[in-house]
Structure 1
């Protein structure tokens, strides 16, 4: 019986449309080859919709997504719509309503890509970012607007459950790698939340045999990732720290355009969401030169999460083979357009399987579908 997956595709704004389109073409090619089908539900939820309706997605948008097997996002953002509107109107509600509490961001030096410094051929880092609380809180406000005494308050929220489940996920992942986990902190300066983070991480990691945790101050860790990036393998970090560190690592590896991201509900009670890390890049939108590697890598993570492990490996092998052959977009010092690079990847997907690339980071311990996943109705 043919396996069928329902995937909600949200191309979004700018280059998100370009990279999503080519990634969907590659997934469809893999589906035909590997015996499954993908039913794409295209959601035109973006800044254009906001200009027309005052919302980034419909009132029942979460409900529309709830019965799918996954969500594939391009990027959102335009210069004339504030970033907090686009982010809090689409991405963050999806993450929180579907309890996508793990943001998984792997990065390694890809074949054919020149990193930001020599000697990083062994670069292989995974950032496990707590994804639904921490510094990205709605608690707070601005007071005394327009006066000399105007001030803003932003509260961070760290719960024992939230920190522990992120730490446990990261520790289990570290156990499969080299047994070393680096925890990003700033407990010397942030007096309440960061010592609490340190305590809960340490308590949680003790429960995972063979894993040692090293807490490192965020400023020192940032410097270490630039000077000695291969000395780190697995990082667990709060929402803000994980966001920043994963982009830094992508820069060290050559370009933010290659970085993928998975927003996971590991228990699979809700659909998970996959996206490239780069933004909508309005300065190059519509020029056909966007780098689709991050989008393709995110699609490979999605396939792995769905249980299509062979298809995931095939896609990763194909985009790496194209890079290794010197085919790349301008951000990687190449001359290929988005469409030209995608065509090269598609041609390799039709070739006999070659040497296997490293296995994709498992998006959740249990690859099978969860038949008990919540099919929930939401009200606004």
Structure 2
């Protein structure tokens, strides 16, 4: 029997509630594939920080390196200043394991209302492939009272960046740096091409803003176009503002969308809203090694403990995780089970987020039952 070691970080708010259901689905899906999932639980998140003052222990990366994947609930709590946990956990792990791909699929599911006129009869199935280590999310910035004199340092899987910035205005000011490098653009473009080919898309679409920021995004366009040509996949470009406009008018026209880091964060949430909300929005952070998978919704502390959280996004994220581990049959079974659950139910039998009366735990139980029922049928 094959053993896969999964690091479980339940996180904050509804994180522990939804991650239990995703774990339940993953265990059910792998039960008949000859793979055993060994779960290792780590306590990191708001409660750990508030009780210990520690965001991550010094040996966190080493301990996680012993695992095959990370399964994350959600990070964030109003008792903790914004940015401490997000940067201290999420970005530390993304950068530490060079997870240069943020994968965010967005598709319309049965019985999930799509808030777009004329959507009936159209298939909506989009995939955002977001560069995950550069752009304006490098974490390089400063504020100053009339001037900024800042040393610049950043470690990435591809390089170590060092330098300094010196600015004078005479006024209070802030500076945030966006960086793009050729190897980083090439590898994410190649990844987008690979996913497009696997989905059957005949091209990729790059979200850009080169007309306003030619140095950064003009460079992106140049390198991405050259790499897509080398991969044998046509690439089109669209200004990100125009993309948002057209996406809410005809989302069925979109397929694989390649995005720099900032645009990918924004566009993927828009696409999630178009396809029915964050309750069905899965996400994954991938690289050439350890990956981390999480629903893209937040910790929603206002509904924590009320059995109202929709666990389907967490369940779908578990499917993405299994797919990345080579457990393709189990991943397909989870996808089919979610679609079957939504197809077979309506009204009060849907999750509370979708206007039904079924709580978090019960949704997880029903999906797990369907997985057991259809597991043998999935090729």
Q: TM-score, normalised by structure 1?
A: 0.89
Where 2:313 maps in the other structure, the secondary structure is helix
Where 2:127 maps in the other structure, the secondary structure is strand
Q: What is residue 209 of structure 2 aligned with on the other side?
A: 186
Deviation per residue, 1:317-373 (Å, 9 max, x gap): 1122111122422222222110111111122122145876xx9xxxxxxxxxxxxxx
The answer as to 2:77 corresponding to 1:102 is: no
Where 2:54 maps in the other structure, the secondary structure is coil
Q: Distance in 2 between matches of 1:227 and 1:118?
A: 8
Q: What is residue 245 of structure 1 aligned with on the other side?
A: 267
Picking from 216, 236, 245, the partner of 1:214 is 236
The answer as to 2:101 corresponding to 1:124 is: no
Contact 2:103 2:127 in 1 (8 A): yes
Q: Distance in 2 between matches of 1:171 and 1:179?
A: 9
Where 2:116 maps in the other structure, the secondary structure is coil
Q: What is residue 365 of structure 1 aligned with on the other side?
A: none
Q: What is residue 292 of structure 1 aligned with on the other side?
A: 311
Question: CA RMSD, aligned part only?
Answer: 1.9
Residues 63-102 of structure 1 aligned to structure 2 (within 5 Å): 63-102=62-101
Unaligned runs of 5+ in 1: 360-380
Q: Distance in 2 between matches of 1:311 and 1:191?
A: 44
Q: Distance in 1 between matches of 2:373 and 2:19?
A: 23
Residues 49-60 of structure 1 aligned to structure 2 (within 5 Å): 49-60=48-59
Contact 1:62 1:94 in 2 (8 A): yes
The 1:56–1:351 alpha-carbon spacing in structure 2 relative to 1, beyond 3 Å, is same
Contact 1:130 1:242 in 2 (8 A): yes
Deviation per residue, 1:169-216 (Å, 9 max, x gap): 11222234221211001111113101111111111111122x221111
Residues 154-193 of structure 1 aligned to structure 2 (within 5 Å): 154-176=176-198, 177-193=200-216
Q: TM-score, normalised by structure 2?
A: 0.89
Contact 1:255 1:331 in 2 (8 A): no
Contact 2:284 2:292 in 1 (8 A): yes
Shift of residue 47 of structure 1?
0.7
Shift of residue 60 of structure 1?
1.2
Picking from 200, 205, 222, the partner of 1:199 is 222
Q: Distance in 2 between matches of 1:355 and 1:32?
A: 14
Shift of residue 83 of structure 1?
2.2
Deviation per residue, 1:132-188 (Å, 9 max, x gap): 11110222211129xx93211100011111111111111222234221211001111
Picking from 257, 276, 285, the partner of 1:235 is 257
Contact 2:333 2:374 in 1 (8 A): no
Q: Distance in 2 between matches of 1:135 and 1:328?
A: 39
Contact 1:105 1:127 in 2 (8 A): yes
Q: Distance in 1 between matches of 2:261 and 2:39?
A: 30
Contact 1:9 1:72 in 2 (8 A): yes
What is the aligned residue count? 352
Where 1:235 maps in the other structure, the secondary structure is strand
The answer as to 2:305 corresponding to 1:306 is: no
Picking from 352, 364, 373, the partner of 1:330 is 352
Unaligned runs of 5+ in 2: 147-169
Shift of residue 58 of structure 1?
1.2
Q: Distance in 2 between matches of 1:215 and 1:297?
A: 29
The 1:154–1:294 alpha-carbon spacing in structure 2 relative to 1, beyond 3 Å, is same
Q: Distance in 1 between matches of 2:377 and 2:239?
A: 39
Q: What is residue 140 of structure 1 aligned with on the other side?
A: 141
Contact 1:15 1:285 in 2 (8 A): yes
Q: What is residue 7 of structure 1 aligned with on the other side?
A: 6
